Structure formats: structure tokens, C-alpha cells
């Protein structure tokens, strides 16, 4: 299992993006109750591993970051979730 899942925050970010495909930085921040710095740190990690992409644009002097999950990100999250679910249903 990917070391990226050694962080509950990253798991939650991927979970949210898995359901939404893409969303804005501000939405993620609010929904997951994170600080700018913390969210940025984890998004950069996820981007380095090609699980998400970030597209930054400036609109009316304000930076807007659109975050999107990649195919690889979806697959990795799906595998993680399926493994946890499978284990939790053991007999």
C-alpha cells in the first residue's frame, strides 16, 4: 500500500476528490477544516505522486486553485478503500 495513505488528511482529500472529480482549494479547505499551509503541503505531495493535478489561475487579482483527481489517484483510492472494506468484513 502506498505510503501516501499514512496520512488521514491525504486519505480524506482523495476521498473527497474521488466523489467530486474536481473542486476548488477553498472548498477543500473548508470542508476538511484545514489551514492553507497544511492543505497546500498535502496537495503538493499528492501532486508529486501524480494522484491529483492543480491548476492555478488569477482572477481579479485573486489566486484560484482548481484541484482535480487523476486516473491514478482514483485507482489508488479505490484500492485503498476496497482493501479496508475487505479486511473489515473478514470472518
CA atoms within 13 A on the CB side of 3: 3
Nearer to a second copy, 12 or 54 (CB): 12
Query: Residue 42 in contact with residue 9, Cβ under 8 Å?
Result: yes
C-alpha cell, 46: 499528492
CA atoms within 13 A on the CB side of 55: 8
Contact residues for a second copy (CB under 8 A)? 1-3, 5-8, 11-12, 15-16, 18-20, 77, 80-81, 83-85, 87-91
Nearer to a second copy, 10 or 60 (CB): 10
In the complex, the smallest distance separating the C-beta of residue 58 from a second copy, rounded to whole angstroms, is: 27
Nearer to a second copy, 66 or 83 (CB): 83
In the complex, the smallest distance separating the C-beta of residue 43 from a second copy, rounded to whole angstroms, is: 16
C-alpha cell, 32: 476538511
Cell 485573486 sits on residue: 62
Amino acid at each position: 500500500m502506498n505510503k501516501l495513505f499514512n496520512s488521514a488528511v491525504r486519505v480524506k482529500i482523495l476521498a473527497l476528490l474521488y466523489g467530486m472529480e474536481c473542486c476548488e482549494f477553498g472548498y477543500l479547505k473548508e470542508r476538511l477544516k484545514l489551514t492553507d499551509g497544511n492543505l497546500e503541503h498535502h496537495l503538493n505531495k499528492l501532486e508529486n505522486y501524480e494522484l491529483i493535478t492543480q491548476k492555478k489561475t488569477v482572477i481579479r487579482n485573486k489566486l484560484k486553485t482548481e484541484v482535480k483527481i487523476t486516473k491514478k489517484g482514483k485507482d489508488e483510492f479505490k484500492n485503498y478503500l476496497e482493501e479496508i472494506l475487505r479486511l473489515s468484513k473478514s470472518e
